[in-house]
């Protein structure tokens, strides 16, 4: 039980130390998806073939 208590204290101390260090930045994910829809591809290629004629 004592070991468990010691480990719990260690975990809590670590979390507090990380918070105090300033290393824990505000969280965010900058997700990005890039797509050109199939319809746009068809449109672009139609334009290109017209230009080529």
Partner 1 sequence: MDHRFQRVVARTHEQRPARLRLIGQLLGQLTEEHLYLPTPPSAALYASAHQLLYQARIAAMRRDHDGVAEVAGLIRRLPELPAPREGVEFLLVPASACTWQHGEQYASDVPVLDPPKATRSWLGPEQSAELQAAVDLLADVGMLEWVNASCGVVVWTTRSPLRGTSISYTLRSLEGTIVTDWPDDPVRLAENLLHEATHTWLNEAVRVLGESLQGPDLFSPWKQRMRPALGIAHSGAAFTNVAHFLHRVLESGAGSHDARIYARRRLSYELDQLELASSAIREAYALIRDSDLAGLLTDHFDQLHGTRAAFAI
Answer whether 18's CB lies under 8 Å from 24's CB. yes
Residue 8 binds to partner 1 (criterion: CB under 8 A):
yes
Residues 21-50 as x/- pattern, contact with partner 1 by CB under 8 A: x-xxxxxxxxxxxxxx-x-xx--xx--x--
The SS3 assignment for 42 reads: helix
In the complex, least distance from residue 37 CB atom to partner 1, rounded to whole angstroms: 9
Please state the φ and ψ torsions of residue 43, each to the nearest 5 degrees.
-60, -45
Place of tokens 């809590």: 12
Residues near partner 1, by CB under 8 A: 7-8, 10-15, 17-18, 21, 23-36, 38, 40-41, 44-45, 48
């Amino acid at each position: 039980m004592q070991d468990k208590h010691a480990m719990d204290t260690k975990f809590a101390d670590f979390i507090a130390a990380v918070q105090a260090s300033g290393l824990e930045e505000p969280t965010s994910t900058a997700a990005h998806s890039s797509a050109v829809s199939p319809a746009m591809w068809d449109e672009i290629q139609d334009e290109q073939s017209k230009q080529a004629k």
